[in-house]
Amino acid sequence: MTASQSGEASGFIHRFVAPAPSGPKTTLLLLHGTGGDEEDLIPLGQELLPGAALLSPRGRVLEHGMPRFFRRLGEGVFDLEDLKLQTDELARFVGGASRKYGLADSKIIAIGYSNGANIAASVLLTHPLLLSGAVLFRPMVPFRPQVVPNLKDVPVLLAAAKHDQIVRPKQTSELSQILTTAGARVSTHWHPGGHELGQDDVAAAKEWLPQ
């Protein structure tokens, strides 16, 4: 297997970086923010968990030419029908990529930023057996589940910001409550600045991840 592969599977253009021979038995599912692509979070993934396999899809929805993982009707107002469709498609992609790249024995941990964090949270709530954990940088509540999923002991790190101009602290608290009610083990890191990522966010995620 080559060290790095690019391609399209299940409708997702993506990049895959194979694990190092002695690397951790963990695959990081890298989910970019609005306007990003499959290359954006590769350096972050390599920094967070050196030697791990990296699976980085590009969002299939375009907003003014910028890739996203699902449509929105306005700032913070999500198209819930499209969110469900794209969440299911992303879960299908991850399952197919796991078979294609031989990741059956690997834990899959989502690393999502902004829009990527929102769809990662949606995957947790609708496909609770798919992910072994998640680091959600600047997430919102994607939707409020009518049926509580079983996320017993699934670890989740919420990396929020005290002065985020997009995500209010109330959203972080509500998402934490939803995930905790589902049984997840939720930790929260508060960045002192705004929506952009800080080095403290990276350090917190690196410490949280199993090395």
Considering the candidates 98, 106, 114, 176, report the single residue annotated as catalytic.
114
Considering the candidates 82, 88, 187, 195, report the single residue annotated as catalytic.
195
3-state secondary structure 78-133: ECHHHHHHHHHHHHHHHHHHHHHCCCCCCEEEEEEECHHHHHHHHHHHHCCCCCCE
Burial zone of 129 (CB within 10 Å; 0-12 exposed, 13-18 middle, 19+ buried): exposed
Is 32 a residue of the active site? Answer: no
Considering the candidates 56, 98, 164, 201, report the single residue annotated as catalytic.
164
Indicate the residue type of 45. G
**56-92: b or e for each residue (b if 16 or more CB lie within 10 Å)?**
bbbbbbeeeeebbbbbbeeeeebeeebbeebbebbbe
- Other beta carbons within 10 angstroms of residue 20's beta carbon come to 12
Is 114 a residue of the active site? Answer: yes
CA 150 to chain centre: 18
- Other beta carbons within 10 angstroms of residue 132's beta carbon come to 15
Is 164 a residue of the active site? Answer: yes
State the catalytic residues: 114, 164, 195
